[in-house]
Amino acid sequence: MSEADTSTHEVDNIDRAIHAPARLIIMIILNAADVVDFVYLLRETRLTTGNLASHLKKLEEVDYVAMKKAFQGRTSLTTYGLTEKGRSAFRDYREQMRRIISPIPMDDSPSAE
């Protein structure tokens, strides 16, 4: 199998639950932090409330993200964190992206306009 065939195969098998841009941003944030609240994710991702909730639900459905509801005084607090499965999937995704991108030659010459 050639490098091009390998890259094509890798791209075909990319984890679509993570690869969507909004979900990738969420996974990056959650990978860097233990637990974050919904408001923090809302601010950092710059998604709308509905869009963020929808993407979090998709990540919960594949067991990559866990949600926890609690109360802080009288205020409800919803927090999110990666599950072990989510951390493992994100590690695999990063490694897969490295394998896809690393064989691509870098062309540092200016592009023709």
Strand ranges, E, within 4-85: 36-37, 65-72, 75-82
Q: What is the pLDDT of residues 2-59, one digit of tens each?
A: 555 555 667 878 999 999 999 999 999 999 998 999 999 999 999 999 999 999 999 9
Contact at 8 Å (CB) between 73 and 66? no
Q: pTM for the complete prediction?
A: 0.83
The CATH number that applies at residue 64 is: 1.10.10.10
Range of the domain at 33: 3-101
Beta bridge partners of 8: none
Contact at 8 Å (CB) between 62 and 17? yes
Is position 55 within any domain? yes
Is position 50 within any domain? yes
Is position 108 within any domain? no
- Residue 91 has a pLDDT of 97
Is position 16 within any domain? yes
Is position 88 within any domain? yes
- Residue 7 has a pLDDT of 58
Domain total of the chain: 1
